[in-house]
Structure 1
């Protein structure tokens, strides 16, 4: 696997959970990591944790669902690092409610972050890659729920399913520019976003029993997965959906 020394990687939603896990792995492989996330205090805490682990890390306060905020985040990142080599579009939110009770505002709120935000961030990075002319790597973070659906998760599931189509389309369109685009499809992973599920014993028993590995993943288990997806030597790896789910999807 190639080194990430001298490369700059952006991780959206990188101040906690899966994003922070990937950021740490990327940084330990030598990359300079820039976190794009909304809350400055949480960004500062995440950067401090990464620096303590020996990572060259910084953060930019960014609302990924807002076009002007994304454009400003890219300008600030480029002013600091001169270039971006990879972007992980990981920022996402969920909202659980019965479909018949889901209102349009909630629907739009979830899609704004998960789908619109991924579009805006990958577009900003793609424009930079194409203008620079020497390629790059985009990683779209979807979810296992895109394959199986989930009760009470209409907006979240729809957004994550849409990302599968976005990832495939970008892989086809951007290949001529030496830009690789792959989609990460994680299974059940213990993060702050699903703490309420982790304390539900019946839910944990059901999902663990359904997973051949008989457990949920931890964010740090995505260290090397992220490095693989950002590896600049894997020039023919594009258009792939990388499933990391403990065997859930084949059981």
Structure 2
């Protein structure tokens, strides 16, 4: 069992779905949690849920694609908790469109959140960690789509593939500062982002048949994964792609 007492974790896109699941896991291991997401009401609801489970948590409204907003959110979190020890860069959106019909606005909107937002968030928090001099952990959340692609998901797949390269680079460049960076690659998980997909029974059956464990994951199954990746004792674990997909990518 990981012990994260005394540490502070930031989770972008942590107000619902996989992000909130990881926030619960970090909090259950003892970390103080800051939820960064754009919707103040959803943030507040997530924090209330975490606090009801005994966590020390705060919400910070933040548009991760806005550099000034990210700097403000970082400082606000440091002012509240004294430091940031772990960042889970999870914020992401998807916008399905056939490649031949996709417009540049859709492409830019997805990459702004998924790729630019992760770059800005990691940079701001890493600068704080380097200045503080106590090391830290960064988790970049990619997707199995970075391994196999997906029809109608050119922008999303590109952004998530780019995050693998970003995570590897951070692992190499920040290691001398005792900052670890690993890439989480989750498989098909029941979240609000894929509600419409799960309404298509043929699609659900196809995904389930290709997954050796024969089901989708739930956000709760990432509790311990998040705590493991944040554990400061794992000083030699960096640059790793941690795949949690029920065997989907190897089947």
1: CA distance, partners of 2:2 / 2:200: 41
Partner of 1:74: 74
SS at match of 2:4: coil
> Does 2:35 align with 1:35?
yes
- 1:99 counterpart residue number: 99
- How many Å separate the matches in 2 of 1:41 and 1:151? 33
**Distance (Å, rounded) in 2 between the aligned partners of 1:118 and 1:213:** 31
- Cα separation, 2, equivalents of 1:54 and 1:216: 28
Q: 2:14 aligns to what SS in structure 1?
A: coil
Output aligned runs, 1:181-220, within 5 Å.
181-220=181-220
User: Are 1:60 and 2:85 matched, yes or no?
Assistant: no
**What SS is found at the alignment partner of 1:139?**
strand
CA displacement 1:150-207 (0-9 Å, x = unmatched): 0000000000000000000000000001000000000000000000011110000000
Gaps of 5+ in 2: none
Please tell me whether residue 239 in structure 1 is matched to residue 239 in structure 2: yes
State the Cα deviation string for residues 62-82 of structure 1 (Å, max 9, x = none). 000000110000010011011
User: Are residue 49 (structure 1) and residue 42 (structure 2) matched?
Assistant: no
Deviation at 1:2, TM superposition (A): 3.8
Q: Contact between 2:27 and 2:56, CA under 8 Å: does it hold in 1? A: yes
CA distance in 2, matches of 1:172, 1:42: 35
Q: Is the 8 A contact 2:2 2:29 kept in 1?
A: no
Deviations 1:120-166 (A, max 9, x none): 00001110111111100000000000000000000000000000000
- Checking the alignment, whether the CA contact within 8 Å between 1:3 and 1:30 is kept in structure 2 is yes
* Deviation larger for 15-24 or 128-137: 128-137
RMSD (Å) for aligned C-alpha atoms:
0.6
- Asked whether the 8 Å contact 2:4–2:31 carries over to 1, the reply is yes
Secondary structure at the residue paired with 1:113?
helix
Question: Aligned residue for 2:173?
Answer: 173
The CA deviation string for residues 37-56 of structure 1, in whole angstroms up to 9 with x for no partner, is 00000001111111111111
Distance 1:22 1:64 in 2: 18
Partner of 2:54: helix, strand, or coil? coil
Give the whole-Å Cα distance in 2 for the aligned partners of 1:94 and 1:18.
14
When the two structures are superposed, what TM-score results if normalisation uses the length of structure 2? 0.99
CA distance in 2: counterparts of 1:14 and 1:64, whole angstroms:
12
| Displacement of 1:215 | 0.4
SS in 2 for 1:36: strand
Question: Between Structure 1 and Structure 2, how many residues are aligned?
Answer: 251
The whole-number CA distance in structure 2 between the counterparts of 1:134 and 1:73 is: 20
Unaligned segments of structure 1, at least 5 residues? none
